[in-house]
Amino acid sequence: MVAYIVRRLFSATPTLFGVTVAVFMFVHLLPGDPARLMAGIQATEESVQLVRHALGLDKPLWVQYGIYLSNLLHGSLGLSNRDSVPVSTHIAQAFWPTLGLTIAAMLVAIAIGLTAGIVAAVSHGHPLDYSTTSLAMLGISLPSFVLALALIWIFGVELQWLPTGGDQGLASLVLPAFTLGAGAAATITRVSRSEMLEVLSQDYVRSARAKGHRLREVVLRHAVPNALIPIVTVIGLYFGFLISGAIIVETVFAWPGLGRLLITAIAFRDYPVIQGVVLVFAVEFVTVNLLVDLLYARIDPRIRYQ
């Protein structure tokens, strides 16, 4: 197991290196001059050049990338161009709100998606199945910002039950978590239904039913465990997507997470923060995929990692 984890981590190194190169080139292709933004619109050209020199932006790109990579190998993400605060400090402050939002959204997605998928599979061909799959298709198709605005209007403005933005405690987590988890819940519903239908058609399930076992017992003890691996794969992928894909939701709800930090950094052309946040997203994807692979062995004892 340890050897497998080490190999996976080593195999992820080229991926992370490629991410640093791609993001570094991308941020330098963004329109706008960060030195001009920092110096101010009324600043003279000499002042702009001084800021550009202080930020190291007057060096060739390959030299700038070499400096960035050297700092990265020494455990430093650099300093923010906007306030000279270490990028790691900004990321540490924004990471936990994003992680909390993502976990809450995944709990919503798993609770709704897994339950709806099992119910739809058990009631296959009945109106409950059709209504569930229709709602799942709606959840996949509905843009997150549309759902966010609708929830804000209903529960925040009209009913005034929940806060409409900011981090004001658990109550302010409800709307963004549901918004972020709705799309994932829809996908989990469709995957769960498909896998459960396949498992419920197996001979051992029919035999269990023929022996007089109750439907709930057959579904929970025999069908669900054998359908979990594809479902866990989808959940793991969505967990990675939600951490990096919470940008719109965090912006709409003014949630102080990585997504909002990234939008602010792009607006100010804060290259080190942009590179740091995207690198965190890449590391998080690699970590989640590794954890999902390791979880397979817990779900299915036949799986061994050599």
Based on the fold, state whether residues 45 and 138 are members of the same structural domain: no
Does residue 306 sit within a domain? Answer: no
Percent of the chain having pLDDT more than 70?
91
Based on the fold, state whether residues 129 and 278 are members of the same structural domain: yes
Does residue 20 sit within a domain? Answer: yes
Based on the fold, state whether residues 110 and 213 are members of the same structural domain: yes
Burial of 156 (0-12, 13-18, 19+ CB in 10 A): middle
Based on the fold, state whether residues 227 and 141 are members of the same structural domain: yes
Last residue of some domain: 73, 108, 127? 73
Based on the fold, state whether residues 55 and 173 are members of the same structural domain: no
- What's the confidence (pLDDT) of residue 198? 82
Last residue of some domain: 22, 39, 73? 73
CA–CA dist 101, 144 (Å, integer): 15
Does residue 81 sit within a domain? Answer: no
pLDDT band at residue 44 under the 50/70/90 scheme: confident
pLDDT of 306 higher than 60: no
Based on the fold, state whether residues 33 and 101 are members of the same structural domain: no
For the ranges 29-33, 88-92, 174-178, the lowest mean pLDDT is seen at 29-33
Last residue of some domain: 73, 100, 119? 73
pLDDT of 76 higher than 70: yes
Does residue 100 sit within a domain? Answer: yes
Based on the fold, state whether residues 138 and 249 are members of the same structural domain: yes
For the ranges 126-130, 202-206, 273-277, the lowest mean pLDDT is seen at 202-206
pLDDT of 265 higher than 60: yes
Q: What CATH number does the domain containing 133 carry?
A: 1.10.3720.10
Based on the fold, state whether residues 168 and 102 are members of the same structural domain: yes
Based on the fold, state whether residues 100 and 51 are members of the same structural domain: no
Percent of the chain having pLDDT more than 90?
2
Does residue 178 sit within a domain? Answer: yes
Which token pair is 120? 């739809």
CA–CA dist 103, 238 (Å, integer): 11
Based on the fold, state whether residues 97 and 53 are members of the same structural domain: no
Predicted model pTM = 0.80
- 55/191: higher pLDDT: 191
Does residue 69 sit within a domain? Answer: yes
Does residue 305 sit within a domain? Answer: no
- What's the confidence (pLDDT) of residue 14? 83
Q: Which string of DSSP letters, residue by residue, matches the chain?
A: -HHHHHHHHHHHHHHHHHHHHHHHHHHHHSSS-HHHHHH-TT--HHHHHHHHHHHTTTS-HHHHHHHHHHHHHTT---B-TTT--BHHHHHHHHHHHHHHHHHHHHHHHHHHHHHHHHHHHHTTTSHHHHHHHHHHHHHHHS-HHHHHHHHIIIIIIIS--S-SSS--STHHHHHHHHHHHHHHHHHHHHHHHHHHHHHHTSHHHHHHHHTT--HHHHIIIIIHHHHHHHHHHHHHHHHHHHHHS-HHHHHHTT--SHHHHHHHHHHTT-HHHHHHHHHHHHHHHHHHHHHHHHHHHHH-TT----
pLDDT of 115 higher than 80: yes
Which token pair is 214? 């109750």
Based on the fold, state whether residues 14 and 147 are members of the same structural domain: no
Helices 224-244 and 171-200, packing angle to 10 deg: 140
Q: How confident is the model over 196-249, as pLDDT tens digits?
A: 888 777 777 777 767 666 767 777 776 777 777 788 888 887 787 777 767 888
Q: Which domain holds residue 28?
A: 2-73
Q: How confident is the model over 159-190, as pLDDT tens digits?
A: 888 888 777 778 888 888 898 888 888 888 98
pLDDT band at residue 304 under the 50/70/90 scheme: low
Based on the fold, state whether residues 142 and 199 are members of the same structural domain: yes
Does residue 26 sit within a domain? Answer: yes
255-278 mean pLDDT: 87
Provide the number of structural domains found in the chain. Answer: 2
